[in-house]
Each structure stands twice: as C-alpha cells, then as structure tokens.
Structure 1
C-alpha cells in the first residue's frame, strides 16, 4: 500500500499489544513476532514502527520484515530506544566521548537496519539526555555534543531521514531538547537536510505547547516527518487514546496537518494498560479518521482560522457537536 496525504498510513506502537489487564510492565516478554501477529488483527492498521535494538534481540531484520508483510502491514520506521543500563546518565550529551560514540553507533546501526528493511525513517528519542539538579549539566558543552552527534548520524544516514522526538521530562527530570523550538534550533545548527522532527501530542502537552501551533511551524519549515498521536492530562506522558481529553486541540492539529500538507505516518503512541489493546488501537484509528474528515471539511470551508474567536468557535463547535 502506497501512502499519500489523502490515504495515510496508520501505524502503532508494537509494545502496546504486550500490555492489558492492568499490567504496565509484564514479567514475561512477549516474543516480537507474536506481537506482530496480534497487530495484524487490528482493523484499519496499515503499518508498524519497531524499536531498535529492543525488537531485534529475538529476531532478525529479515524475519521481522517477513512477519510484518505476512500480517498485511508495512514498516514505516525504526525507533531507537537506547538501553537505560548503559545510557541512563546520557547518550549524546554524556561527558564521556566513549559513551557518546557508543550512543551514536546504536543510532547508526538502526539506520543500517532501516535500510535493510526498506524503510526511510529513523526516529531518535533522546530519553536520557537530561539532568535532575542545578549545576549537574554543562549546558553549553552538552549542546555542542548534540550538534556533533546528530550531525554524525545524519551523515551516516544519507538518503534516510533521521527525526528527533523531544520530550520535556521522563525519565530525566528535565531534558536538553525540551520543546519544538529547541529541536528546530538544533536542526538549524547542524545544517543537515535529512534531519527532521517527530512530534508527540502528549509530549507537546507536557511542554505546555499547543500541538497545532508546533505542527504548523514544523510544516512551514519542511521539517515534520513523524507524528505520534495520543492524549493526556498534560502533567505526564499518559498515553491515552486519541482525542479522549483534548478533543478540540486534536481537531485543530488535524486541521493543520491536512491544510499544510503533512505526508507522513499517523502513529499511535498509546499505553492501553487496562484496555484491550486491539480494541484500543481500532478506536484510535476510527477516531483519527473521523477527525481528519471533519478537519478536511473545515479546511475546505475556509472559515477558520478566524481572528473573531467567537465566530471561529461557532464553526468548529458546529463541526464537532451539531452534526
């Protein structure tokens, strides 16, 4: 299946299918290929994005590619998860050049796996590049290390896009890349054309950003490659179903995604701990399709955005409530 803005891919977090029944951290690990098989039963799902190295410890890229294809899905990206045991004190920002080199090598290895699996997108979540206390991090040298490491990985990637998924906190108390603007500033300083942004709704809410605004700015700069849909209350990365808390903000985000030409995957980064994961994923897909349809009508109608807040509110209110 070829992805187009009119018919995008819907992908999801493979680990969601290992949750459920109130268990957030299962004692036993579900084999990767079993998770892929479950994902293949989700109505409307067209793609998967898998974690490196996590999802390759019990299978090979060739075996995983075949399993994804057999499930009727495609692979749209590789997401890097640096092992906490080795990088809990930082990856690209670690004071040790040896640790930074090891962190960059994992990202490069993920690029190689991505190429082997026929995908074109590697997503880097710098989970450990942060700090807890004042005077703990040398912010200037840490920033310089980020520029150096991301540039090195981008050069290795070549024709593969490497996008950065920021998060303001968790597992660190604070992160160096904590806002959309900080990621765009980093990309600008590296000067690499194949560096891009992946935006996560819950992460933007944690950073007190308006998702639609961040999306619009990234699209205007041609830097939005990935989108992770979910929802939350804003204090933490809740991983709730799409549109379940911040419905209007999610609709506005969809509006700008459609109006300004987002052509990437709609990826659901949710945590159905107490919900049936297949049903939860199908709900995400159905809701997103509905919101995209409403957003398309709003974009075609030309009545929003509107500097008259009450007049504009009538338009989106009617689109959501009165139909």
Structure 2
C-alpha cells in the first residue's frame, strides 16, 4: 500500500444508511489514490459531515490533516448525492492543498486534477470504479483480469461524466488544458472572446460566493455536523460553500466548543494569542467578547470555509 493512502475513512454514525455512506467514502479514497501519490498529498483522514448549512459541501482542515465531505442532501439525509458530485467536491478540496483563494491558479490546478481523474478512469486506474472505463488493449484491473472495453465506449462514458459534473455543480469542469476544439477558431471572434471572458469572470464570482473564506461566528461542531468523536487538534482549513455570508467578514473561521462565543474579526490575516508575559490580555482594536479571557495554552480550531 502506498504511503499516500488515506489512513482513516469514516462515515457518520448517527445518520441513516451508514454502511452505504462508508462505502461511498471508501470509493472516493480509492479513486483519488493515484492523484494523491503523484502529487504527494498526505491526507490523514476522510470523514463525512452533515452541517446544518445545507450549502456547505466540503472542508479541508490543515491542508489534508482531515477532509470532510457532505454526502447527503440536507432535506433527505437518507439519500446521497451522486458519486460524480462527491468526487468533484473531493477534487475541489484537494486543490486547496495547494491554492487557497479561488483565482486563476486555483482553477488551472483544479482543471488539471479533473483531467487527470478522467484519464485515470478511462484507463481503469482508479480501483473498482475504474473497471468500466478501461481501454481495450491497455486497460487492466489491478490484480485482476484484462478488460475488453472499446476505447470509443470509454470516451463516451468519460464525456457523459463531464456533462454530469456540469449539470450537477454548474459551470464548466474538466476542460482540456492547452487544447482547442474543432470549433476553437471562434475564440478569435471578438464577440466570442468577450463572451468567454465574461463566463470566466462569472465563474470566479460564483465560486467566490459559494466557496469564500469567512469568519463564521457560530461554527460549533453541532452546526458543522461533526460528531464528538471527531474532535482533534486540527486548526486551519479550506471548505466549499454555496452561499456567501457577510462580505465584510474575515477570511478566517474560528471553531470552538458549542458554549463558547465567537468574535467577529475583520481584515485580520491570522488569529494571534494576544497575551503579555504575565498572561494578561493586551488592549488592541480586535473586537472580543466582554468578560472572556483566553488562557495561555487554550486550543482554538481555525477553519477557513472555501
């Protein structure tokens, strides 16, 4: 087993269909293993979560210390999102291993991961899920028999998966980097070029709303749908949202226990323990709850929802 395999995969215990949820997470872990190995990504844990905010799809804590994925719609927790949509969410969170903000570099890297995943599927190199996408003559199930699937069929299936990504998640995905289609000469048409620029700008705007970093004042474990057994020391993360909170909020989210209040900090690039040598709080311009004093050594979970 490669050293880049995800060491812990765990579904929520208190939700229905736990066996199916566990199976989904394991499929996802197997599917991205070649990418983890090639990119040298260390993801310690892949867990399910069920946040009260139905728009929150995923969260990457401390660049892979733990990745959370929402498997179920908020209104029908006994059902699951399509596998393709879950895989899309996981690839998004893996992109946050390298890039935080949703900028050109982020989308370029995300498209690279999607293209790489499709090629793995076509060649049958993503575990059991990749068997149906093996190419004739080259596709072989790892540890199994040769697969006889015409390459044209595999290509059609891969194209259908791209269409499913687009319909499920909105916008374009899996665009071939550095390649042009047969009708690509339209890009030199000024109107077509302007349209493509506007589409790219709209994609960034939408993702900045859906996946922005915020200071979430009530992000307790209960709100995020994280069970008590999932408590750990992890702190910094990126996550996927589908609704934009207050744009004046900072790009940091502070997670504490449910009975702790959360201060709204604007335009602060990091959370700093402001204690002098005697352990007393220093006076500064950062708003904080009256009467509450943080002690040296207190642990604070920091989450960036993106």
**TM-score greater than 0.5 by the shorter chain:** no
Name the structure where strand makes up a greater proportion of residues.
1
- State the TM-score, normalizing by the size of structure 2: 0.24
Select the structure of larger CA radius of gyration.
Answer: 2
Name the structure where helix makes up a greater proportion of residues.
1
- State the TM-score, normalizing by the size of structure 1: 0.23
